[in-house]
Structure 1
Amino acid sequence: MPLKKKKASLKKPKISKTIMLGELIQKFPKSAPFLAEAGLHCIGCHISAYETLEQGCKAHGMADKEIDLLLKRMNASV
């Protein structure tokens, strides 16, 4: 019986709520305009190395639904 070759699944990396803001900007630079549009100017903030995306969003008054929409938009762009 011939062996079936497995196709390598190349999943796109996914941005999550738990990613640190500094890591987000470093790994996914295309996310920066989405953050700026949402009022999150994380690129120059010294807290970005210690705060998750969700924490930053909540600190700027974003609701869970707004955070989910932001994540969806950013993941569609990477």
Structure 2
Amino acid sequence: MHITKKMSTGEVTKKYPATKAVFTKYFGKGCFDCPSFGTEDINLACMMHNTDVDKFVKELNEAAQKETSKIP
């Protein structure tokens, strides 16, 4: 699966828990306590945090790839 900026934050972190480190890196530890986390799409989250969405999505995909390559 390829992560895109249109996917929801919750969808990505549920399917690929390793991506939580990327969210924390860019948005801080409080990210997961935010009422909108889980329902907003990645593009909106990046806009709200003044983050380059393309760079962010690239790192999410890298984290997901590393996670899935560890599964036997």
Determine if the TM-score, normalized by the shorter chain, exceeds 0.5.
yes
Q: For residues 10-55 of structure 1, give each alpha carbon's deviation from its aligned partner in whole angstroms, at most 9, with x where no partner exists.
A: xxx1111011111111111111111111125432222123210110
Contact 1:17 1:71 in 2 (8 A): yes
Residue 56 (structure 1) aligned with residue 21 (structure 2): no
Residue 24 (structure 1) aligned with residue 12 (structure 2): yes
CA distance in 1, matches of 2:22, 2:8: 16
- Report which of the two has the higher share of helix: 2
Structure 1 gaps, min length 5: 1-12
Structure showing greater Rg: 1
Identity across aligned pairs (percent)?
A: 22
Range moving further from structure 2, 16-25 or 41-50: 41-50
Per the alignment, in what secondary structure is the counterpart of residue 35 of structure 1? helix
Q: 1:71 to 1:29 in 2, by over 3 A?
A: same
CA distance in 2, matches of 1:76, 1:49: 20
* RMSD (Å), alpha carbons: 1.5
| AA partner of residue 45 (structure 2) | G
CA distance in 2, matches of 1:49, 1:39: 14
Structure 2 gaps, min length 5: 65-72
Report how many aligned residue pairs link the two structures. Answer: 63
The TM-score, its normalising length taken from structure 1, stands at 0.69
The TM-score, its normalising length taken from structure 2, stands at 0.74
